[in-house]
Amino acid sequence: DIQLTQSPSFLSASVGDRVTITCRASQGISSYLAWYQQKPGKAPKLLIYAASTLQSGVPSRFSGSGSGTEFTLTISSLQPEDFATYYCQQLYTFGQGTKLEIK
Nearer to other proteins, 17 or 55 (CB): 55
Residues 21 and 73: their CA atoms lie apart, in Å, by 5
Does the protein bind other proteins through residue 31 (CB under 8 A)? yes
Residue from 19, 66, 89, 100 in contact with other proteins (CB under 8 A)? 89
Nearer to other proteins, 15 or 50 (CB): 50
- Looking at residue 96, its amino acid is Q
Does the protein bind other proteins through residue 54 (CB under 8 A)? no
Residue from 19, 21, 23, 34 in contact with other proteins (CB under 8 A)? 34
Q: Is the bond preceding residue 8 a cis peptide, omega within 30 degrees?
A: yes
Does the protein bind other proteins through residue 63 (CB under 8 A)? no
Nearer to other proteins, 42 or 103 (CB): 42
